[in-house]
Amino acid sequence: MSRAYRHNLNGSTLEAGALQMEIKDITLRFGGVRALDGVSFNVAQGDIHAIIGPNGAGKTSLLNCISGLYRPQVGEIVFHGGDRGDRNLVRTKPGAIARLGIARTFQNIELFRHMTVLENLMLGRHTHMSHHLLASFLYYGPAQRQEIRERELVEEVIDLLEIQAVRNKEVGALAYGFQKRVELGRALCMQPSLLLLDEPMAGMNAEEKEDMARFVLDVNDLAGVTTVLIEHDMGVIMDISDRVSVLDFGRCIADGAPAEVGSDQAVRDAYLGQEANA
């Protein structure tokens, strides 16, 4: 990875280890159902922060609150943007959250299947393009120069994720594992300060999981991008995470280092019990 790419990929101006996001007493209700019930924890700049828990624990709901798809009835999500200042994401629209440098992938792949890999990745640069619509349509002058600049970063993402061979293929024709890489790549092309990954390894075989874990670590190690990760594979979580938060029935029942969380009896009872006692 080039030095320029290392600088460009991470949109944060915070120092490593600084407080980047505070989740404060988040409560989300759907009618009489509490999907989240007073959830609180912090995320530090440069960490891989995993969120684990049984199915229905509220993990994806929490990511939806961070990215602005859901608006909780109670609580705050304070994002510390460094030079951009602090922002309460609960009061911020999804488009503005994306412009703050918060990118995400989805549990179910959300790509444009009839567009090529390269075209999908270029869409990840949309929040950084500022040229006039007419100039974009005619592709001349400033619009042309800007697209060339944006294309340079996209090419580095292609190299990082090892998808050179499929760059001009339609996404819908790709194997599932490659589609997952493309979705990660599109999020990286947004120059995220904070990367939200919703089960990036779901449905993958062992080799594909190993590749994806390596890519997540590369993004973190080489560029220092903070990653909040939902994943069910506990082996992967314990290997790559700096910190783990555990949700159960919408409540945060544990938060700490992987080894600490893995030995917590409440966590073992709620989520790891059968595996731990096997």
pLDDT of residue 170: 95
> What distances in angstroms separate CA 31 from CA 8, 12, 34, 73, one per listed residue?
43, 37, 8, 11
Residues written for the chain: 278
The rounded distance, in Å, linking the Cα atoms of 33 and 38 is 13
Residue 128 pLDDT level (bands cut at 50, 70, 90) = low
- Ranges 7-16, 57-66, 159-168, 265-274: which has the least confidence: 7-16
Whether the per-residue pLDDT at 275 is higher than 50: the answer is no
The rounded distance, in Å, linking the Cα atoms of 60 and 65 is 9
pLDDT of residue 49: 97
Mean pLDDT of 12-39: 92
**DSSP tag of 164:** G
User: In degrees, to the nearest 5, what angle opens at C-alpha 242 toward C-alphas 56 and 26?
Assistant: 40
pLDDT of residue 249: 92
User: In degrees, to the nearest 5, what angle opens at C-alpha 207 toward C-alphas 258 and 264?
Assistant: 15
pLDDT of residue 239: 93
Domain 10-111+171-277 - what CATH class?
alpha beta
> What distances in angstroms separate CA 192 from CA 12, 38, 80, 180, one per listed residue?
7, 27, 13, 18
Amino acid of residue 129: M
pLDDT of residue 273: 55
- Map residue 21 onto helix, strand or coil: strand
Q: What stretch of H or E contains 134?
A: helix 133-138
Q: What stretch of H or E contains 175?
A: none
The answer for residues whose C-beta is within 8 angstroms of residue 85's C-beta and 6 or more apart is: none
Mean pLDDT of 246-273: 86
- Give the burial string for 133-146 (b: 16+ CB within 10 Å, else e): eeeeeeeeeebeeb
Whether the per-residue pLDDT at 141 is higher than 70: the answer is no
- Map residue 140 onto helix, strand or coil: coil
Quick one: what percent of the chain has pLDDT higher than 70? Answer: 84
| Backbone dihedral angles phi then psi of residue 180, each to the nearest 5 degrees | -65, -40
The rounded distance, in Å, linking the Cα atoms of 194 and 20 is 9
Looking at every residue in the chain, the average pLDDT score rounds to: 85
Cβ atoms of 170 and 113 within 8 Å: the answer is yes
* Sheet strands side by side (includes 243-248): 102-104, 194-198, 226-230, 48-52, 243-248, 251-256
Mean pLDDT of 120-140: 61
**pLDDT one-digit tens code per residue, 53-77:** 988 899 999 999 999 999 999 999 9
Q: What stretch of H or E contains 85?
A: none
> What distances in angstroms separate CA 13 from CA 48, 220, 242, one per listed residue?
17, 15, 20
Mean pLDDT of 226-249: 93
